[in-house]
Amino acid sequence: MATVIQDDTSTSLRTAAENVRVRHPASLVRALTGLAAAGLTLLLATGAQGTADGLDADVAQGTEQVPWALGGPAGLLAAVALLVLPLAFAGQRLARRAHRGLADGVAAAVLAYGLSLALDAAVGGLAALTHTNPGGVGRTDPVYGHLAPVLAFMTTAGAARLPRWRTALAVTLGVAGLSGLVTGYATPLSLVLALLIGWAAGHATTYALGTPACRPTTAQLLIALGQAGVRPHLARRTAPGRYLVTQHDGRPDLDVLVLDPRAQTSGWPGHLWRLLRLRAELTPRGLLPPRTGLEHEALLAYAATAAGVRTRQIAATAQLAPDSTVVAYHYLPGRAFGELAEEELTDELLTDAWQQLQLLQRRRTAHRAISADALLIAPDGAVHLVGLSDGEIAAGELQLHLDVAGMLSTLALRAGAEPAVRTGTTVLGAPALCAALPLLQPIALAPGSRAALKAQPELLGAVRESLLRDQPQAEVQPVRLERLRPRTLLTVGAGLLAGYLLLRYLLTSDRDPFAVLSAADPFWFGLAAGAAALSYLAATLGFVGFVPERLHFGRALAVQVAGAFAKLVSPGGVGGVALNTRFLQCGGVPTPQALSSVGVSQLGGLALHLLQLAFFAALLGRAPQGEMPSARVLAVGAVLLCAVVVSGFAVPWVRRRIGGLLRPLRAEVLPRLLDLLQQPGKLALGVAGQLLVSLAFITCLYCCALAVGQQPGYAAVAVAFLAGNALGSAAPTPGGAGVVDVLLVTALRQMAGMDEGAAFAAVTLYRLLTFLLPVLPGWAAFAWLQRRRAL
């Protein structure tokens, strides 16, 4: 009986495999590793020239013991081998009609040779990479470039996967490198650079051009399915790598999934990022070979079936090619949960979904990707749990709780928080749902659910409130699921850059920080230290004054001191804000009120900071002066400003964005400020504390300038501090390290007329008193507060 094959792009029978190119992430990793190793080699040649010269001298002394009878013929033999080996490999591949990759190898050889020439021109002056030619004229090349093109060609053409050719390549490169050392035309580091450049160029070309691979055709698919025991009749591609296959004699249709190298490597950048970012329990299944992926998928399907879960049943598995496999499921008609109408979202349907998850969890099997697409609703209304390819058997508690959180969010996104919680409590019980509360956060959910939550940002809060209404003692503090945050990467990178710039500034400056400290006037330095200490008392007044509740003053003071320790691991004032909020929460202040109090304090501090800047700028004579614009100019400006504002509010997404930004201010901060207005004494204390904080820091910097023998004006120092600190606090480095220092030095030079050396000395003393020395007391205060459960 004839077999019919249909495809979205063609209805003709295909007999030849479709050639595709696949970019394997391993090639990119190897290329980046090679480039990083080459960079470290250059760093060694630059920064450890004595070590590199000593290594070159030791090698030269050792090679002098080799007789010329061995060195000369070996060098000639190596030169011939470097030419013959690639040609022999290319001839053998052409003779066997296995020519795929040869053109890529030539491209890799050209790239490696070009990189060698470019590096020769760029670092030719590094003495650690070269020495005098054996003839006494000129110097050797920084990169022993004969090796790089050969290694790149053989790597890209596929010789590394063939044991005999791999051995021949290693022997040839080893003999050639040794002959270069013996004859004196190469240095050890030039050999290392050549090999690294060739290896990196080969793998970079392999990744850029892709590895040739054959994608199985529908004809091959049907033949393989027939050999696996099914009777395929018609195949139709429904998605990349997925087919709907009908069978003879009215047998059930099949949903066929092809696992090949292209499917294996798709989406690997996102997979790698999640692997680095999330804890091991949350990372998706690794990039498995097709056969291993087939075994994993079949294992999860059989485990779910054994647990009694309604899911797709496996009909057949087969191998299409050495790097391609296929798994066929009995076709399951139905609609995804996200496609249902609102009237179809009944409690019976939600209960059925929870029951399927309960069956899975009883066997300690985790789904790990529960979303609206993982719930398939059959025509009879039964819920089927599909998409188990990322699941785990013998799962841990965290993975099982993550599935509960995923089901909660999935059902709540369509049916609402109350029905999702009510039906989940009926099936699993309130304790099981409460155990998933700390994991109910966007990063723990499937990508589809995370995208849907952007339109309903308040949903997770509604789910928590619904659960806590009956279980108020449940733990709701979110669990840390990320081991690496984007903000952490930014902070570390900015910190390294700032540290490098500051170190370079210190090395190139004429002023030694230790000499600056030893030469400082003790009297003014002591006053500066007193002003720095006074800033913590002022910060405590400013913090306590903006909190209507009664706080323990001593512990509040310890929190401000602990903020000096938090600066080391957080940018700007983020650490202090977090500590103040946590202190209020531990003191019994509800989280919304705690956040509002800290927000009011920050807004008040910002307003007072700007007012002080305007005041001292006016004293300094740098306030804007001159004639006021005419009434016509002011009127035109006001009309234009109103037009821009009205036009902005006419755009829906702008209106929604502004409303979202102002909602917390209107709902939380303003009511908290009204509560404070009923306690004018406390509000005055907070305002005075915020003013004293800035004045204490200004006084500290002013006394530091006097300690190094300068006589600047107090107003000039105030403007320099207020302007420089405001700009530097936005830097993503811990405590504004590096950025604040440079800005303060620049501001003192421009505002106070100090020379660069004196400004640097004053800022060094100031940062020593306000950033470095308080770290140890801050750590002690932090530990003391933790022991008393105040943080």
pLDDT tens-digit profile of 250-285?
788 898 888 776 666 565 666 666 666 776 555 555
* Separation between Cα atoms, residue 237 and residue 255, nearest integer Å: 10
**pLDDT number for residue 534:** 92
- Whether the per-residue pLDDT at 565 is higher than 60: the answer is yes
User: What does the DSSP 8-state code read for residue 145?
Assistant: T
Q: Given a cut of 60, is residue 71 above it in pLDDT?
A: no
Phi and psi angles of residue 511, each rounded to the nearest 5 degrees, phi first: -100, 120
Strand partners, 384: 376
Residue 247, beta-bridge partner list: 232
Q: Rounded to an integer, what distance in angstroms lies between the CA atom of residue 512 and that of residue 576?
A: 31
Confidence at residue 336, expressed as pLDDT on a 0 to 100 scale? 92
Residues in contact with 187: Cβ distance below 8 Å, sequence separation at least 6, in sequence order: 56, 59, 128, 129, 130, 131, 140, 181
Distance separating alpha carbons of residues 162 and 93, to the nearest angstrom: 12
Higher pLDDT, 290 or 114: 114
Instruction: Report helix, strand and coil shares of the chain as percent, to nearest 5.
Output: 65, 10, 25
pLDDT of residue 190: 84
Q: Is the CB of residue 757 less than 8 Å from the CB of residue 780?
A: no
Task: Specify the DSSP class assigned to residue 287.
Answer: -
Looking at residue 348, its pLDDT comes to: 94
- Residue 301 tokens, joined: 């399907």
Using the predicted structure, report yes or no on whether residue 14 has a pLDDT greater than 70: no
Q: Band of the pLDDT at 7, cuts 50, 70, 90?
A: very low
**Confidence check: pLDDT of 61 > 70:** no
Residue with tokens 């811990």: 734
Yes or no: say if 758 and 704 are a contact pair by the CB < 8 Å rule: no
Where b means 16+ CB within 10 Å and e means fewer, 262-280 reads bbbbeebeebeeebebbee
586, pLDDT greater than 90: no
Residue with tokens 């849907």: 452
Say which residues have a Cβ less than 8 Å from residue 497's Cβ, sequence separation at least 6: 738
Share of the chain above pLDDT 90, in %: 16
Tell me if residue 481 falls in helix, strand or coil: coil
Predicted confidence at residue 145, as pLDDT, reads 75
pLDDT mean over 122-137: 71
pLDDT of residue 549: 80
- Is 790 in a helix, a strand, or coil? coil
The residue among 255, 261, 223, 252 whose CA lies nearest residue 239 is 255
Q: Which residues pair with 732 in a beta bridge?
A: none
Residue type, 527: L
pLDDT tens per residue, range 461-495: 888 888 888 776 666 666 777 776 666 666 566 55
**Identity of the residue numbered 528:** A
pLDDT of residue 16: 41
pLDDT at position 629: 46
Would the pTM of this model clear 0.75, i.e. be above it?
A: no
Distance CA 96, CA 107 (A): 22
541 token code pair:
């007044």
Q: Please give the Cα distance from 330 to 311 (Å, whole number).
A: 10
Torsions phi, psi for 215 (to 5 deg):
-85, 125
Q: What percent of the chain has pLDDT over 70?
A: 73
Mean pLDDT of 159-181: 85
Is residue 425's pLDDT more than 90? yes
- Determine the Cα–Cα distance for residues 90 and 743; give it in Å rounded to an integer: 61
pLDDT of residue 354: 96
| pLDDT class of 59 with cuts at 50, 70, 90 | low
Read off the pLDDT band of 2 (50, 70, 90): very low
Measured CA to CA in angstroms, residue 6 lies from 12, 212, 245, 252, 329 at distances of 7, 25, 10, 18, 19
Tell me, what's the pLDDT at 660?
A: 56
Mean pLDDT, range 352-361, rounded to an integer = 95
Of 589 and 298, the structure prediction assigns the larger pLDDT to 298
- Please answer whether residues 196 and 37 qualify as being in contact, where contact means their C-beta atoms are separated by less than 8 angstroms: yes
Return the pLDDT at 737: 67
Rounded CA-CA distance 770/764 in Å is 10
Q: What is the pLDDT of residues 492-516, one digit of tens each?
A: 665 566 555 555 555 555 555 556 6
Task: Calculate helix-pair angle for 417-428, 347-362, nearest 10 degrees.
Answer: 40
Tally of CB atoms within 10 A around 571: 22
Average pLDDT over residues 53-62: 64
Q: Find the mean pLDDT for residues 284-302.
A: 74
**What does the DSSP 8-state code read for residue 216?**
P
**Segment among 7-16, 189-198, 645-654 with least mean pLDDT:** 7-16
Task: State residue 634's pLDDT score.
Answer: 46
Closest alpha carbon to 448 in 502, 334, 553, 371: 371
Q: Which residue has the higher pLDDT, 732 or 396?
A: 396
pLDDT reading at 175 higher than 80: yes
* Average pLDDT value for residue range 623-643: 52
Does residue 18 have a pLDDT over 90? no
Q: Are 284 and 271 in contact (CB under 8 A)?
A: yes
pLDDT band of residue 353 (cuts 50, 70, 90) is very high
**Selected residue with higher pLDDT from 196 and 686:** 196
> Can you tell me the mean pLDDT for 710-718?
87
**Coil, helix or strand at residue 138:** coil
Q: How large is the C-alpha radius of gyration of the chain?
A: 35
- Measured in whole angstroms, the distance separating CA 137 from the mean position of its chain's CA atoms is 52
Between residues 37 and 679, which one has the greater pLDDT?
A: 37
CA 378 – CA 330 distance, rounded (Å): 13
Q: What are the residues facing 358 on neighbouring strands?
A: none
Query: DSSP state, 185?
Result: S
Run of H or E residues at 256: strand 254-259
Average pLDDT, the chain: 78
Mean pLDDT of 386-413: 90
Band of pLDDT at residue 359, cut at 50, 70 and 90 = very high
Residue 419's pLDDT band (cuts 50, 70, 90): very high
pLDDT of 5 strictly over 50: no
CA distance 741 to 162: 58
Give me the DSSP letters along 292-328.
HHHHHHHHHHHHHHHTT---PPEEEEEEEETTEEEEE
Asked if 263 and 297 touch (Cβ cutoff 8 Å), the reply is no
Where do we find the tokens 């660069």? 756
Q: CA angle at residue 534 from 530 to 535, to 5 degrees?
A: 120
> Which is more confident, 371 or 680?
371
pLDDT in tens, 133-163: 776 667 778 888 788 999 999 998 888 778 8
Say how far apart CA 22 and CA 265 lie, in whole Å.
8
The per-residue pLDDT for 600 is 77
591, exposed or middle or buried, with CB in 10 Å at 0-12, 13-18, 19+?
exposed
What's residue 162's pLDDT? 84
Whether the per-residue pLDDT at 367 is higher than 60: the answer is yes
Q: Is the pLDDT of residue 169 over 60?
A: yes
**What token pair was written down for 228?**
């696996």
Q: Is 320 left (phi over 0), alpha (psi -120 to 50) or beta?
A: alpha
Nearest-angstrom CA–CA distance, 64 and 109: 33
More confident residue, 358 or 587: 358
